[in-house]
Amino acid sequence: MPRRTHPVSALFVLLLAPLHAQPEHDRAFAQSVRPFLATYCVSCHGPQSPAAQFSLSAFTSPANFLNDARRATQVLERLEAADMPPKGAPQPPPAARRDAIDWFHAVRNNEIRRNAGDPGTVLARRLSNAEYNYTIRDLTGVDIRPTRKFPVDPANTAGFDNSGETLSMSPTLLKKYLDAARETASHLYLKEDGFAFAPHPMLAETDRDKFAVHQIIDFYHQQNTDLAAYFETAWRFRHRAALGQPAASLADLARRHNVSPKYLATIWQTLEIPEPIGPLAKLQAQWRDLPKPQPNQPAIARPGCEAMRAYVANVRKKVEPRFINITAGAIGTAWQPLLIWKNTQYATHRRTFDPRQLQVQGEPPFNQANVVEPEWDNAFGPGKTILVENPSGDPDLFVPAGQRPRYEAAWARFCSVFPDMFYKESRGRNYFKTGKDEGRYLSAGFHNVMGYFRDDQPLSELLLDEKQQATLNRMWREMDFVASINIRTYVEFAKLGTRGTRDDFKDGEPEVGDIEVDQIVSEPKLRKLEADYLKFANGGSPVAIQAIKTFFNQANTSIRWVQQARRDAEPAHLKSLLEFAARAYRRPLSPAENDDILSFYRDARARSALDHESALREAVVLILMSPKFSYRVDLVEKQRAVQPLSGYDLASRLSYFLWSSMPDAELLRHAAAGTLQNPEVLKAQARRMLQDPRSRALAVEFGANWLDMRDFEQIGTVDRARFPAFDDALRQAMFEEPVRLLLDVFRRNRPITDLLLAPDTFVNPPLARHYGMPPPAGDTNTWTHVPDAAPYGRGGLLPMAAFLTKNAPGLRTSPVKRGFWVARNILGDQIPPPPPSVPELPADEAKMDLPLRQMLERHRANPSCAACHARFDSFGLAFEGFDPVGHRRTHDLAGRPVDAHAQFPKGVEGEGLSGLRQFISQHRQPQFVRAFAGRLLAYALGRSLALSDGPLLDEIAGQPSLRFETVLDKILASRQFRNKRSPL
């Protein structure tokens, strides 16, 4: 099994205060312990190819053992368990063994007493790849994951990749850091009041367009414009008492049913203030006819509300205003100023109606034939204006003789509340064939050139509150501010000169080719083009002339605005830059650091001739490249060996522990106020942080490393031809299951023994099917809690498919790997690596002559193998009821019935998973708790454990309540967590 350990780690073990062995320990070592080791141990564990790669030859003084707590502990454990020396090797007399054990205890206890709770050496280190990604996410607000192409971080001896013991830097990696910083900075975009980061790079104009257009479209789509939803919510308000909410206000219901409170109030009034005539009178009749609430029929009013919606749509269509294309002199209907005029007419008349469509008794009918549109035969459009045709005798449009004014007023009220459209999200050239417009978001409908047009007046006026209006207005300004859409559109337009969009048919003066944008959009140039246009428009109607002037005035205003706004925003961007740096450095900047960043920005502009935005981007790269961002260095005064962490360092330690990411504003406020060293504050912050979505990182980063499944999402050992059910969705679900359970234990403060012994788990549809459970309704993102999974052979971590799959080599199970995983990862046993010459088991279970169980028995018959295998094989055999992908089974792949009986250590008999759980709960529970707490402590501190951590772990393991927060609180309150030892 490849472990991602790193040779450097051994160099960083325990740099504690100078080591002192007591003189009597030195004497005893020389007189009895060293000869004991020489006699019984070193023949195998000597300098030349030591057994289990475990050499004792360098251990020539007590200090050697103190220096290497892990090995010392292993020697002691094996001597106590009496499985070393192995059977068959010369055995020491019991008294000699006893003496050696006592010596180890005495030395160890002495050391532990002296150093209990020592902070140990927590090295300065770079952020791990995972931490870098999470930190960038929280720093920028977008999940860029710039380290996805970095090499995998190695783990330390505690199994975690978050310590200076193994995280190193190299020139090759540094270059990847540069790439990562540049990639992150490429997402930056400038706003009027600072800068932000988009979910995608913002360097290309198409990317900026996409961003600016989609934020508006997304905003539109978030608004509820379904009239039936408003009618139904109004109905709920009318019947609020009967529906059990007598105190509910309109606004309450609006929020609950996701409709605009403002528009709901309008609808309510419109329905409730009696209207004697016209379309509203008919709508109100339908409203009054809606059924009353009935028990168990929550949707009883829905069909009636949908009928009302259909009525509005049908009637509204009949009176929709239509605007005839205009021309002016030589300027045709499709030229941008006149097309914009037409767009504007529609956009500003959506809450009005065409009174000519009313069919008044005694008046001659509206004669369509009299309406003549210029360029009616223009094949290139901008779309002929198709007039609304209503057959005469339409009862909806009927007006009694002499009542036109009264009815027009009624129609105006109706149409004002019910616009013909709330917003137009796409537009084609062919105005009335909307099916062809799909996807041309916000388009102005120009021919062959870019152009956008805003048409959302009814939405803004009727549905949006002031804050939402401001948001939408800002987004439209950002079309120009972020994406330069007004300038680029105008440049395209100006390059056409006076040729409009129909250069094939009209003559005019061409502009020269590309020149500088600044010149093209300058006011003199713009006014010159306007004058040319007006010359060509000579003889046009006043409306058309005005339309041309308005077009140029608007272009001018908008271009001048964006030029000015960009200049005005520069100080805000620099302020934003310094704030960004402070958040990146996870502490306030010193005045010198402020100067450093600003001077870098100024240099980039002056020396490298970069524009404002590029220079800012360079400064962001600098900040991300600074070790102040990419390294975690706990600063201490050099003179003092042990001292409390500063507030900011403690904030980072806490946030990288629980979130694998930077501290948030609240944590930094506490750091600034100096309150974090108060254990109660620290505890309260940790509670809050656990409930935050970011604590998922604790489950993923701690959990997956602890349980050795970090690379499970890429696991490729499964033969998908033999196990077709194993697809990417199932693999992802397998990985997610333990993460969900861990989070549940963390966030609901469950006993940590629940991880092993509780009957519950979490499944999504693919995993439920794999487990033979009824799948929850929904897609793969639908996870559901299964309170009692025992009937399906599940519950807790042990039988999770991820571990059963990961610890099986493909076409057979592996009791060895599965058992080793339980012993090592769950129970914290120290087990040496296997010798290099272990016999290979056949790869395919279906091709074995004997059941795996019997092959393992043979292997254990060899005493030097049994020493280790006796400690874990039985745990793995208990899982024999699960196939290589963790599916429950009764027969193995060769068709033999499986036997999940196991003889656990110390002769305890058990059967399958329940037997294993029983064994752990009766014999190994404290060991599990201590191991879990030890792993969590190592992860929290970012270092390997030391002997001096023993008392804390003993204290935790001795707690009456073993809930997660108890473990967490003990760690947070520990000296280790809140202090730093100045490294040697």
Partner 1 sequence: MKTPISRRTLLRGAGVAMGLPWLESMAAGATPAQPQRFAVLFMGTGISPGRWWAKGSGAQLELSESLAPLEPLKAKVNVIDGLFNKAATGQGIHPAMTGNMLSGVPIRKGSIIQGGITVDQLLANHIGQETPQPSMVLACERAMTGFHETNFSNAYSSHISWQNSDSPVPNEMYPSLAFDSLFENGGQLRNASILDRVRDHAQSLSRAISGADKIKLDEYLASVRDVERGIERMRAGKQKAEEQARDAGRPLFAMKRPQDGLPEDIRDHIRLMCDIIALGFQMDKTRVASLLLARDLSALYYPFLGVSKQHHGASHYDTEPDYQKIVHFQVTQLAYLAQRLDAMKEGESSVLDNSVILFLSNMWSGTKHDNKKVPVLTIGGLGGKLQTGRALNYFESGDDNRKLCSLYLGIMDRMGVNLPGFGDATTRLAGL
Site for partner 1 in 488-517 (CB under 8 A): 488-489, 491-492, 495-496, 499, 503-504, 507, 510-516
Nearer to partner 1, 300 or 449 (CB): 449
Q: How far apart are CB 535 and partner 1 at their closest, in Å?
A: 18
Kindly provide the b/e burial profile for residues 31-48, where b requires at least 16 CB atoms within 10 angstroms of the residue's own CB: eebbebbeebbbebbeee
Q: How far apart are CB 451 and partner 1 at their closest, in Å?
A: 6
Is 379 among the residues that bind partner 1 (CB under 8 A)? no
Q: How far apart are CB 752 and partner 1 at their closest, in Å?
A: 33
Assign 125 to helix, strand or coil: strand
Assign 196 to helix, strand or coil: strand
What whole-number distance in Å separates Cα of residue 968 and Cα of residue 952? 12
Segment lying near partner 1 (by CB under 8 A), choices 82-90, 173-181, 396-404, 739-747: 173-181
Q: Pick one of 362, 439, 524, 542: the residue that binds partner 1 (CB under 8 A).
A: 439
CB 955 within 8 Å of CB 974: no
Give 563's contacts (C-beta < 8 A, 6+ positions apart): none
- Which amino acid is residue 565, in one-letter code? A
**At which residue do the structure tokens 């005798």 appear?**
393
Nearer to partner 1, 170 or 837 (CB): 170
What whole-number distance in Å separates Cα of residue 186 and Cα of residue 134? 18
Which positions from 79 through 138 interact with partner 1, judged by CB under 8 A?
121, 123-126
Q: How far apart are CB 654 and partner 1 at their closest, in Å?
A: 20
Which positions from 611 through 670 interact with partner 1, judged by CB under 8 A?
618, 621-622, 625-628, 631, 633, 635-636, 638
Which positions from 750 through 769 interact with partner 1, judged by CB under 8 A?
none
Nearer to partner 1, 489 or 655 (CB): 489
Which positions from 585 through 604 interact with partner 1, judged by CB under 8 A?
596, 600, 603-604
The token duo for 526 is 């713009």
Segment lying near partner 1 (by CB under 8 A), choices 71-79, 169-177, 730-738, 944-952: 169-177
Q: Pick one of 247, 721, 861, 984: the residue that binds partner 1 (CB under 8 A).
A: 984
Q: How far apart are CB 799 and partner 1 at their closest, in Å?
A: 41
Assign 358 to helix, strand or coil: coil
Q: What angle do CA 737, 926, 875 make, to 5 degrees?
A: 55
Is 452 among the residues that bind partner 1 (CB under 8 A)? yes
Can you give the three-state secondary structure of 904-929, one letter per residue? EHHHEEEEHHHHHHHHHHHHHHHHHH
Q: How far apart are CB 324 and partner 1 at their closest, in Å?
A: 21
Rounded to the nearest 10°, the torsion over CA 478, 481, 485, 490 is 140
The token duo for 123 is 């090295």
Residue 976 phi, psi dihedral angles, 5° rounding = -55, -45
Which class for 807: exposed (0-12), middle (13-18), buried (19 or more C-beta within 10 A)?
buried
Which positions from 773 through 832 interact with partner 1, judged by CB under 8 A?
none
Segment lying near partner 1 (by CB under 8 A), choices 199-207, 409-417, 536-544, 765-773: 199-207
Is 607 among the residues that bind partner 1 (CB under 8 A)? yes
Nearer to partner 1, 384 or 447 (CB): 447
Q: How far apart are CB 968 and partner 1 at their closest, in Å?
A: 27
Segment lying near partner 1 (by CB under 8 A), choices 72-80, 237-245, 303-311, 449-457: 449-457
Is 248 among the residues that bind partner 1 (CB under 8 A)? no
Q: Pick one of 215, 443, 948, 979: the residue that binds partner 1 (CB under 8 A).
A: 443
What whole-number distance in Å separates Cα of residue 928 and Cα of residue 676? 31
Q: Pick one of 70, 351, 384, 447: the residue that binds partner 1 (CB under 8 A).
A: 447
Beta bridge partners of 452: 443
Nearer to partner 1, 11 or 372 (CB): 11
Q: How far apart are CB 951 and partner 1 at their closest, in Å?
A: 25
Q: Pick one of 320, 437, 649, 664: the residue that binds partner 1 (CB under 8 A).
A: 437
Nearer to partner 1, 496 or 755 (CB): 496
Q: How far apart are CB 149 and partner 1 at their closest, in Å?
A: 13
Give 427's contacts (C-beta < 8 A, 6+ positions apart): 343, 437, 440, 442, 443, 444, 445, 453, 455
Query: x/- site string to partner 1, residues 516 to 545, per CB under 8 A?
Result: x-----------------------------
Nearer to partner 1, 138 or 209 (CB): 209
Nearer to partner 1, 451 or 884 (CB): 451
Nearer to partner 1, 284 or 944 (CB): 944
Is 205 among the residues that bind partner 1 (CB under 8 A)? yes
Is 982 among the residues that bind partner 1 (CB under 8 A)? yes
Is 63 among the residues that bind partner 1 (CB under 8 A)? no
Find the DSSP H helices in 19-147: 23-28, 34-40, 62-67, 69-81, 94-115, 129-140
Query: Contacts for 168-175 with beta carbons within 8 Å, 24 or more apart?
Result: 168/6, 168/8, 168/126, 169/126
Give 914's contacts (C-beta < 8 A, 6+ positions apart): none
Is 703 among the residues that bind partner 1 (CB under 8 A)? no
Q: Pick one of 191, 351, 413, 436: the residue that binds partner 1 (CB under 8 A).
A: 436
The token duo for 499 is 């040729």
Half-sphere exposure at residue 765, Cβ-oriented, CA atoms within 13 angstroms:
8
Q: How far apart are CB 702 and partner 1 at their closest, in Å?
A: 22
Is 64 among the residues that bind partner 1 (CB under 8 A)? no
Is 729 among the residues that bind partner 1 (CB under 8 A)? no
Q: Pick one of 449, 672, 831, 973: the residue that binds partner 1 (CB under 8 A).
A: 449
Q: How far apart are CB 246 and partner 1 at their closest, in Å?
A: 46
Closest C-alpha to 111, from 20, 12, 13, 15: 20
Q: Pick one of 51, 63, 106, 217: the residue that binds partner 1 (CB under 8 A).
A: 217
Nearer to partner 1, 96 or 589 (CB): 589
Contacts with partner 1 by CB under 8 A: the residue count is: 89
Which positions from 1 through 30 interact with partner 1, judged by CB under 8 A?
8, 11-12, 15
Q: Pick one of 99, 207, 613, 899: the residue that binds partner 1 (CB under 8 A).
A: 207
Can you give the three-state secondary structure of 242-270, one letter per residue? CCCCCCCCHHHHHHHCCCCHHHHHHHHHH
CB 275 within 8 Å of CB 284: yes
Can you give the three-state secondary structure of 924-966, one letter per residue? HHHHHHHHHHHHHHHHHHCCCCCHHHHHHHHHHHCCCCCEHHH
What whole-number distance in Å separates Cα of residue 26 and Cα of residue 21? 7
Q: How far apart are CB 632 and partner 1 at their closest, in Å?
A: 10
Residue 337: asked if its preceding bond is cis (omega within 30°), the reply is no
Is 209 among the residues that bind partner 1 (CB under 8 A)? yes
Which positions from 415 through 434 interact with partner 1, judged by CB under 8 A?
428-430
Q: How far apart are CB 464 and partner 1 at their closest, in Å?
A: 22
Closest C-alpha to 25, from 102, 95, 115: 102
CB 868 within 8 Å of CB 905: no
